[in-house]
Chain A
């Protein structure tokens, strides 16, 4: 996962409509902190950088560069577990 990757959810892996979990085959992954907000932005069209830019507008006072590092790391972990492609 890099700032220029275009992540998308893997078929059969999805955010629960209300709870902070990702539904995956045979289980759930618990989400913490702002992970849910990040995943809500994943649409298979925008780059990680664009997603973070969008999020930064919502989180007032957040440092966009720091946020980019955190989001790349988070999405990288989810990609490793098969939740995301791209």
Chain B
């Protein structure tokens, strides 16, 4: 089915290199090597194509975007194309001078994540000693003309400290706080047994987040991403396949989501060879799960298909082996019972699997 909506966001993984090794990293297990990374002139063309298509937001992420020496050039290219430029960073490699250069180049929003309120536990999750560095960076960020988001990724290892984590985030005075339960893809899936929260933790966290939202209203905007293994209906993953966003990996492959590279039998077109508008409008990969023709009869006849667009294809594939299956998060899936199994607590003797850099 051809595109019926225009994309709103372009997410660019400009590198997979990263000084952190977070247990919940959403990067694919098969990461792109630095030699394969797109050069700045290709990114510049892609940003211009994106703006011409009506895309408004450019998200520069990674890996760690600062690992690219030409990051300021990329930001400037996005800004000059007319895009709102956001950057997701660990802050490792940032200096006051470099940050000033990025803001001058057109950076408008920076997102910094904290792995815990406690330094030792935060460093354990990040697989490196980054927590104190990040805290030290915040005053430098606050001095710039820049929107600032603090991201808190939550899971079994830190959910009991959620109130302390929110208090830490609040003390940093960002414009926005995002509290996101880990989504189980990439490295996070490898560490699922270590990260899966318990029922008690999820029940504790919900009112804590709601109370924080109310308390901070008018001061700090709070967004929350729910733990979908505990849901009865699937998330509208990336706002629906091929409906809102395009992700470009470091080598230039255009994907409908962070994780789609795992789906078998797919050819993803590369922005080195094809224009972004062709990829959006014509590429088989983006068309594959648009509309409802691919859906099971259960989904096709369900009112919720306009809300969740059939849930997450990667999750269906990862959990059932069939990418066309009903997302097992859905209560109407014959495999919904799987979720209960996967939520069961396992011992803490499990060893973490850290991504390499």
A80 adjacent to chain B (CB < 8 Å): yes
A16 touches B176 (CB 8 A): no
Q: Please, how many residues of chain B have a CB less than 8 angstroms from a CB on the other chain?
A: 23
Min C-beta distance of B83 to chain A, whole Å: 9
A61 adjacent to chain B (CB < 8 Å): no
Cβ contact of B146, chosen from A11, A24, A28, cutoff 8 A: A11
Can you list, as one digit per residue, whether each of A8-22 has a CB less than 8 Å from chain B (1) or not (0)? Answer: 001111101100010
Q: How large is the interface on A (under 10, 10 to 19, 20 to 34, 35 or more residues)?
A: 10 to 19
B147 touches A11 (CB 8 A): yes
Q: Give Cα A56–Cα B12 distance, bound, in whole angstroms.
A: 45
Number of A-B contacts (CB under 8 A): 50
**Highest count of chain B CB atoms <10 Å: which of A26, A81, A82:** A26
Can you list, as one digit per residue, whether each of B155-187 has a CB less than 8 Å from chain A (1) or not (0)? Answer: 000000000000000000001101000000000
A17 touches B149 (CB 8 A): no
Cβ contact of A26, chosen from B82, B145, B146, B149, cutoff 8 A: B149
B56 adjacent to chain A (CB < 8 Å): yes
B109 touches A12 (CB 8 A): yes
A26 touches B56 (CB 8 A): no
B86 touches A25 (CB 8 A): yes
Q: Give Cα A21–Cα B56 distance, bound, in whole angstroms.
A: 10
A23 adjacent to chain B (CB < 8 Å): yes
CB-CB under 8 A for A12 and B108, given A17-B82, A25-B149: yes
B265 adjacent to chain A (CB < 8 Å): no
6 contacts between A and B (CB under 8 A): A13-B147, A23-B56, A25-B176, A26-B178, A79-B218, A80-B218
Task: Beyond the given A12-B108, A25-B86, please list 13 additional residue pairs across the A-B interface where CB-CB is below 8 A.
Answer: A10-B175, A11-B108, A12-B147, A14-B84, A16-B56, A24-B147, A25-B109, A25-B147, A25-B149, A26-B109, A26-B149, A26-B223, A27-B57
Q: Which A residues have a C-beta under 8 Å from some C-beta of B?
A: 10-14, 16-17, 21, 23-28, 79-82
